Chains A and B, each alone.
Chain A
Amino acid sequence: MDIPKNLFYTKEHEWALIEGNKARVGITDHAQSRLGDITYVELPAEGKEVKQFEMMASVESVKAASEVYAPLSGKLVSVNSALQASPETVNSSPYKDGWMAIIEIKDESEKAALMDCEKYRKYLESAAE
């Protein structure tokens, strides 16, 4: 399972790449693998305010529908609308082309509630037992 070192993670298997006051976010390799073939991604409108750990987007696979939660609070300054036509990008490239939104970070201290890659790896291992 691919868990890049430079990202932060949530218990619901979202990732955040924090660069300055912005965070690019998406779902993890583990999440896309568990979902299987992703067939639909519903993205919020640009400009929307989201709150940490509240629903931000939804994804559907052949087998199931599931919600995507915001790793951090803030305004969505950009969403990856290319996923509407090719949702399978989330499977093939969860950390790069499969990103879902860019959040303008409202409160830096929320970062403390996220896991780094080591913690997320251990979290996945403990969940597998």
Chain B
Amino acid sequence: MQDANNLKNTPLLGEHINLKARMAPFAGWNMPIQYEGIIAEHNHTRAGASLFDICHMGEFYVEGGARETGLDAIFSFSIDEIPLKKCRYGAMLNEKGGIMDDLIVYRIAKNEWMIVVNSATIDKDAAHIRRHLKKGADFKDRSAELAKIDLQGPLSRDVLTELVAPAAGKLGYYTFDFFDVLGENIIISRTGYTGELGYELYISAGKAVALWRLLLGDKRVRPAGLGARDTLRLEMGYSLYGQDVNEDTSPLEAGLERFIDLNGDFIGRDALVGQKKKGVKRKLVAFKSDSRKAPRHHYSIMKDDKEIGSVTSGSFAPSLGCGIGMGYVAAPYAREGEGILIKSGRNEIGAVITQRPFYKNGSARVK
């Protein structure tokens, strides 16, 4: 579905309009940014359970042997080493070691995978994967037919097991399984982008409204928009594709080395090995303002009157009560505790480079 502005709509558009969401374009999609307000939605996700429309993201299904089909070489880690019914976060790189996308791979069966990718990169990713797959692989882009709804927050497990799938309570962090929901056998994974205990549900687009209404019918659950999703992920120090990472940044610069298996054989590996030997020139760092003033995308990062980098993500952090941000700085300055100045015109914000995550009380990994 496309509207006059050429924006794509999710199957939940009517729900958002009824809920009086503020809609705005995001990566070519008409998405809900907020309902009652970003801070209220943020706080409710940290304390209760929030429902997010994430239907814009892409889902690919691939069948075939990991190594024989060349699928294994497309990712920064060996997908053949993922245990069954587990998910793994990683990246797809170009030959230069730049990040084409960050994504999550689900191992459904020995020779079957689901790959969940960012919305803006669906077509590019699909073309890249198709180009590198050898004969014998079956690739399907199921993005349009699958809806993705995220339930996130410390109460999400209670809600999910009581309303949707009693057996899903057993899922451990970064695992998934199939559950019978609304007459369909769907994937539910214990994953998310908020730092809280949470689940991502993949259901056919035709059932999206019914699942959304079922979950929102519980008084513990409230809708949350992309505004809160952004402050929640930034407090965790998670990168946003297209903003903190892109084709010109490498996982070594972005602090994603733990998601890369340099002993493996994958596209972009040689470039990364070279970078590692020489050392990277800039690094993604996280910083905290000394006030409520927020760093913003494209603001300069200064040290002793010298520009040492620029901000890629920044916001007021509702759970911390101060401004926070991330950005690339020249490697020698990428040290915890380093004082910096964030600058845009006359606006100056004192900040200190700090550890990720900013927010340390998230429930994502609770037993």
Contacts and interface: CB of A to CB of B under 8 A. Distances in A.
A93 interface: no
Interface in B31-65: 33-34, 37-40
Nearest to A37: B39
Given A60-B292, A63-B227, A87-B292, A36 B37 contact: yes
A65 interface: yes
Contacts of A64: 296
Contact of B292 (A36, A40, A58, A63): A40
| Chain B CB within 10 Å, residue with most, of A42, A64, A65 | A65
A42 B294 CA distance: 12
Given A60-B294, A65-B294, A36 B227 contact: yes
A62 interface: yes
B296 to A, nearest CB: 6
A40 B316 CA distance: 9
A39 interface: yes
B234 to A, nearest CB: 10
Nearest to B291: A40
Contacts of B38: 36-37, 62-63
Nearest to B24: A63
Interface string A55-83: 00010111111000000000000000000
Interface in B217-234: 227, 231
B315 A62 contact: yes
Q: How large is the interface on B (under 10, 10 to 19, 20 to 34, 35 or more residues)?
A: 10 to 19
Contacts of B296: 64-65
Nearest to A65: B296
Interface residues of A, number: 13
A62 B37 CA distance: 10
B1 to A, nearest CB: 24
Given A39-B316, A40-B316, A65-B347, A60 B293 contact: yes
Contacts of B293: 40, 42, 60
| Chain B CB within 10 Å, residue with most, of A37, A60, A64 | A37
Interface in B333-365: 347
Contacts of A37: 37-40
B289 to A, nearest CB: 10
A69 B324 CA distance: 27
A61 B294 CA distance: 9
| Chain B CB within 10 Å, residue with most, of A39, A40, A60, A61 | A39
A63 to B, nearest CB: 6
| Chain B CB within 10 Å, residue with most, of A36, A42, A58, A64 | A36
Interface in A16-61: 36-37, 39-40, 42, 58, 60-61
Nearest to B292: A40
B318 interface: yes
Interface in A72-127: 87
Given A58-B347, A60-B316, 12 more contacts: A37-B37, A39-B292, A39-B316, A40-B292, A40-B294, A40-B316, A60-B293, A62-B231, A62-B294, A62-B316, A63-B38, A63-B315
5 cross-chain pairs, A with B, having the tightest CB-CB distances, nearest first:
A39-B316, A40-B292, A37-B39, A62-B38, A62-B316
